Structure 1
Amino acid sequence: MSSLVVIGGTAGIGRAIAQRAAGRGDEVVVTGRDPDRTKAIAEEIAADVPGSARGIALDISDPTTIGAALADVDHVDHLVVAAIERDQNTATNYDVARAIRLVTLKLVGYTEVIHTLLPRIAKSGSIVLFGGLAKDRPYPGSTTVSTVNGGVTGLVHTLAVELAPIRVNAVHPGIIADTPFWEGKPLDHVVNRTPIGRTATTDEVVGATEFLLFNGGVNGVHLAVDGGWMLT
């Protein structure tokens, strides 16, 4: 049995990662911003295996609160930092407050989570950070999103060296049609240019994350899960 912490584990891909881990008997901690919702979702995750999951309220866009929020997490085998926010911010109409929040969440918040938990992460453990393919294929309004996802690349490279032998990798999902954000949106233009003829799925991103967590020979890797979309 392993211990897994999923930062941003109350919805979408983060929740699916936590659900699968709890199902195989791991001890799981999930975080989310809203205390009541986080507690309720942790209970749902643990429904089949009572006590396998618990929730902690945490907003990593305020890094000064991270240490106290995670103080009672006493041991970590594997850490997934999947917390994200959507942002539509252009250089023409630049919202400084929104940009600062997202940069803080994704770069400072991610790093502070690792700093806080590092003394409790097993030397044989692993960390997976979530980036995204906007770093390689920007779109109008992705000014901040593309920048911070590119920053995740730098984080992985430096942390894989600094934290050795703890392994650090990143997963970069493309458009995942069965996630809450994309579900129901017209995506034919994406599917038509994706070699596998569909978008990747949540289950496939979970599998990619587990590969990065558990394969001891993989370190400092950036794994795109997009069905080959970036090739076209």
Structure 2
Amino acid sequence: MTGTARSVVVVGGTAGIGREIARRYATVGDDVVLTGRDAHRAATVAKECGARGLALDLARPREIAAALEGIQRVDALVLAAISRDENSVAEYDIEAALALVTLKLVGYTEVVHALRPRLGADAAVVLFGGQARARPYPGSTTVTTVNAGVDGMVRTLAAELAPVRVNAVHPGIVGDSPYWRDKPPAALEGIRSRTPTGRLAGMADVVDAVDFLLRNGAVNGVGLPVDGGWLLR
């Protein structure tokens, strides 16, 4: 995004990829609001990035509209908040499953619902899913289901919000992200060796993908993998 400053909202912008997205747009002069569950942390990170901080908890969807009341206009909305969940059918944790489903499916949708009147005709929305949607692993019962659900959300929101564009980004293993960078090198090497590009995706790759989805006016209703072709092997 270049030229006239835009109003950018990054939900889940206090750490990891969300933080890097907020920093990118604040650096080029956009008016950025980032959110996090903790008000103090959101304010601290926002100050570091040159943005504004706002407390918002997607796991408490009935409070979302009130938390967003102060936002007047939205040109770009990025829903980057995620939660890690280890769950299986054999040992099913209902509370953990409900928390993740609420955060990503109900929470994401309620943010869009609350901000819908403030989205301009040329606004764009990007939701975060993940490649567990297409490659399940032990313990991904809820994660896989929810990330596949993000694709369904993208299609229905793109239809309902038109002409506002709605897309999703589906990162694979992001090697330099806070979650992955401290994993055993051997485990990451095994994934890297099975990736056709010969390297893992980095946070900068995901930020670039989000920027593309926000900028390109002809891309709508799609889920974009960012995994170096990991699913090909």
Pair in the same fold by TM > 0.5: yes
**Corresponding residue number in structure 2 for 1:227:** 228
The alignment partner of 2:112 has SS state of helix
**Corresponding residue number in structure 2 for 1:115:** 113
1:131 paired residue among 129, 132, 136: 129
Gaps of 5+ in 2: none
> What amino acid sits opposite 1:220 in the alignment?
G
Note if 1:19 corresponds to 2:23. Answer: yes
In 2, the alpha carbon distance for the partners of 1:54 and 1:194 equals 38
TM-score (norm. length: structure 1): 0.97
In 2, the alpha carbon distance for the partners of 1:184 and 1:120 equals 40
CA drift of 1:221 comes to 1.2
Deviation sequence 1:169-201 (CA, Å, 0-9, x none): 000000001000001213011001001111011
Note if 1:207 corresponds to 2:208. Answer: yes
In 1, the alpha carbon distance for the partners of 2:158 and 2:115 equals 15
In 2, the alpha carbon distance for the partners of 1:6 and 1:202 equals 15
Note if 1:155 corresponds to 2:149. Answer: no
How many percent identity over aligned positions? 60
1:183 paired residue among 181, 198, 202: 181
**Corresponding residue number in structure 2 for 1:144:** 142
CA drift of 1:116 comes to 0.1
**Corresponding residue number in structure 1 for 2:46:** 42
In 2, the alpha carbon distance for the partners of 1:65 and 1:98 equals 20
The alignment's C-alpha RMSD in Å is 0.5
In 2, the alpha carbon distance for the partners of 1:210 and 1:154 equals 21
Runs of 4 or more off by more than 4 Å in structure 1? Answer: none
Gaps of 5+ in 1: 47-52
In 2, the alpha carbon distance for the partners of 1:166 and 1:83 equals 21
In 2, the alpha carbon distance for the partners of 1:198 and 1:61 equals 34
Note if 1:93 corresponds to 2:91. Answer: yes
Please tell me whether the aligned partners of residues 33 and 52 of structure 2 are also in contact (alpha carbons under 8 angstroms). Answer: yes
In 2, the alpha carbon distance for the partners of 1:72 and 1:37 equals 19
The alignment partner of 2:137 has SS state of coil
The alignment partner of 1:176 has SS state of coil
In 2, the alpha carbon distance for the partners of 1:31 and 1:148 equals 21
In 1, the alpha carbon distance for the partners of 2:12 and 2:136 equals 24
In 1, the alpha carbon distance for the partners of 2:231 and 2:92 equals 27
Please tell me whether the aligned partners of residues 133 and 144 of structure 2 are also in contact (alpha carbons under 8 angstroms). Answer: yes
1:74 paired residue among 72, 91, 106: 72
Pairs aligned (count):
226
Please tell me whether the aligned partners of residues 195 and 230 of structure 2 are also in contact (alpha carbons under 8 angstroms). Answer: yes
Please tell me whether the aligned partners of residues 151 and 222 of structure 2 are also in contact (alpha carbons under 8 angstroms). Answer: no
In 1, the alpha carbon distance for the partners of 2:127 and 2:212 equals 13
Please tell me whether the aligned partners of residues 154 and 221 of structure 2 are also in contact (alpha carbons under 8 angstroms). Answer: yes
TM-score (norm. length: structure 2): 0.96
